[in-house]
Amino acid sequence: QQQVKQSPQSLIVQKGGISIINCAYENTAFDYFPWYQQFPGKGPALLIAIRPDVSEKKEGRFTISFNKSAKQFSLHIMDSQPGDSATYFCAASISNAGNMLTFGGGTRLMVKP
């Protein structure tokens, strides 16, 4: 049973559009929510992360929105570019439980030129 559910599994967006990937979690003890980006042939790399005491975090074109009451968080990629084409994973962890990450199933994003 996946503790972090991610949708959609795949996403196609036109260049310049907004890409939105959603995640939902069940364990209210999670206190750290990172997003990882993975290009073909590479391991995942941390893209952006949020803690539950804030509702939004923005870094450049990437924004995490966090809804604690709904136990949901999402990644928004503004002005999507072909170079953003990758697989994105949301994750969650608990600080006093070894910081082990629980990952969502991943979203394969393709940005068409």
Residues that bind another protein (CB under 8 A): 2, 4, 6, 9, 32, 34, 41-46, 49, 89, 93, 95, 98-101, 103-106
Give 91 or 111: the residue with its C-beta nearer to another protein.
Answer: 91
Q: Strand 62-67: give its sheet, edge to edge.
A: 4-7, 19-25, 72-77, 62-67, 56-59
* Among 56, 64, 5, CA closest to 35: 64
Give 1 or 69: the residue with its C-beta nearer to another protein.
Answer: 1
d(CA 13, CA 35): 19
Distance in Å, CB of 102 to another protein, minimum = 8
Distance in Å, CB of 104 to another protein, minimum = 5
Residue 11 DSSP class = E
Give 10 or 55: the residue with its C-beta nearer to another protein.
Answer: 10
